[in-house]
A and B are shown apart, each in its own frame.
Chain A
């Protein structure tokens, strides 16, 4: 079983094995998983919007949406800063962190082919399915902090909450700005 799928099933045991199982990697090696996440995001968006893919389209969506992955890398660096990862190195720690992306990647790829529309498929199953990565990801990240950084249970939970709060906070702020949330809130209140 691949590390990505194994992390979904048994995150603690998998991270424990990964943290000791491989040697240090360089910066380029650390970019493999973030790059795959960016390509998944770009391809899913291209397919969802147009129902087809071309090199130019996928390059464009991947390049523009890589801002999301860059944001995730920055958040990952922030929440893992100050921790001792000498044994595996920062690059490997980042690489292992991004192994937690599989649940969202699989959901994005599922969303790319479900493509809800008013005359087609309903959107509710897609949002219900999003609960799966929403639940799995914090569980995987908590295991990451325990096994890769050697945190006790409590510290791992605190760091996981910090990571999720930062991630969702940034997402909500950007999404809120994009949809002009303020007049909508005023409308709800009125």
Chain B
């Protein structure tokens, strides 16, 4: 009987932890700033979700994206779009938490990956980067070269850069080694030489750990809509921002958001971090205790 009471108390404590976490979670839609005659949105165009190899459902990513001060993100699971279909079936695609959710997939092929953003059907993976880009364009989407470093670098050549709308210039992998960091820098330099208006993209490649928006893209849009976002990528009106405050993109645009990028690198998510951590700690400790004493 005593053990039963302890279990019930721990369950209660766990629920209290969740509500304490919710009390520290103050997420509100915000109005994007206007700079250089454009609305400036923050986006992440490489996000994996559930069902797929990501840990969160699309609507939970939307909430997390807002907490991390993002305005738009793209669902890019490997050669599949089940999570987008799930969100659409549940009617959860339309600006959850004020964040624009874009459909897409990560074309996962032999030797290259391409983030396909703004498409409703997955693109075939057998073929070249140019074939993938053409198939993405046929659906009205944009093609972004994904993590073009390390083993993938050699597949990205001038023809590929000309076919792509954007290239990931900032990605968490750039912090894994000096060699990868150099690869990202050299690929972006080569991409600009072959395709001067190619969009600089900062993406997280979120699965379960590096938070959404860890690396991000600032977009200079005419309208905060799917069409507005895709137009900005096609026109190269983007600035990639890495997790240490580094910016990549047209200098005249980069200067407009470099301060935001630096601040973002050191600013905690929206809400009260102390209360949020306290809630997580209470829930976590009570679960540990429940597992240890047995259900």
Contact = CB atoms under 8 A, between A and B. Distances in A.
The yes or no verdict on A and B being binding partners is yes
B21 interface: yes
Nearest to B290: A36
Contacts of A175: 53
B291 A4 contact: yes
Given A32-B295, A60-B59, A118-B172, A178 B53 contact: yes
A117 B21 contact: no
A45 B79 CA distance: 23
B294 A99 contact: yes
Tell me which of B214, B269, B287, B291 has the highest count of chain A C-beta atoms within 10 A of its own C-beta: B291
Interface string B256-295: 0000000000000101000011011001100110111111
Interface string A28-41: 00001101100110
Given A52-B21, A53-B18, A106 B291 contact: yes
Interface stretch (B38-46, B203-211, B232-240): B203-211
Contact of A2 (B60, B64, B293): B293
B108 interface: yes
A40 B22 contact: no
Contacts of A164: none
B210 A117 contact: yes
B146 interface: no
A161 interface: no
A178 to B, nearest CB: 4
Contacts of B295: 32-33, 35-36
A82 B92 CA distance: 44
A183 B112 CA distance: 10
Interface-centre pick from A47, A175, A179 (highest chain B CB count, 10 A) = A179
A36 B11 CA distance: 10
B17 interface: yes
Nearest to B279: A53
A107 B175 CA distance: 27
Size bracket of the B interface: 35 or more
Nearest to B22: A54
Interface string B182-208: 000000000000000000000000101
Interface stretch (A108-116, A136-144, A150-158): A108-116
A151 to B, nearest CB: 24
A39 B289 CA distance: 13
A132 to B, nearest CB: 14
Interface string A157-184: 0000000000000000001011110011
A47 B288 CA distance: 14
A106 B288 contact: yes
20 contacts: A39-B287, A40-B291, A46-B56, A47-B284, A48-B55, A49-B209, A53-B279, A56-B22, A58-B18, A61-B56, A65-B50, A109-B284, A109-B287, A117-B172, A118-B173, A118-B210, A179-B108, A183-B108, A184-B108, A187-B110
Interface of B: 14-15, 17-19, 21-22, 24-25, 50-53, 55-57, 59-60, 63-64, 67, 77-80, 108-111, 125, 151, 172-173, 175-176, 206, 208-211, 214, 243-244, 269, 271, 276-277, 279-280, 283-284, 287-288, 290-295
Interface of A: 2-5, 32-33, 35-36, 39-40, 43, 45-58, 60-61, 64-65, 99, 102, 105-106, 109, 112-113, 115-119, 175, 177-180, 183-184, 186-187, 190
Which 4 A-B residue pairings sit nearest by Cβ, starting from the closest?
A: A180-B78, A2-B294, A180-B108, A178-B53
Given A45-B56, A47-B280, A64-B50, 18 more contacts: A4-B291, A36-B295, A49-B56, A50-B60, A53-B17, A53-B279, A53-B283, A54-B18, A55-B19, A60-B56, A102-B291, A106-B288, A113-B284, A117-B210, A118-B243, A178-B51, A184-B108, A186-B110
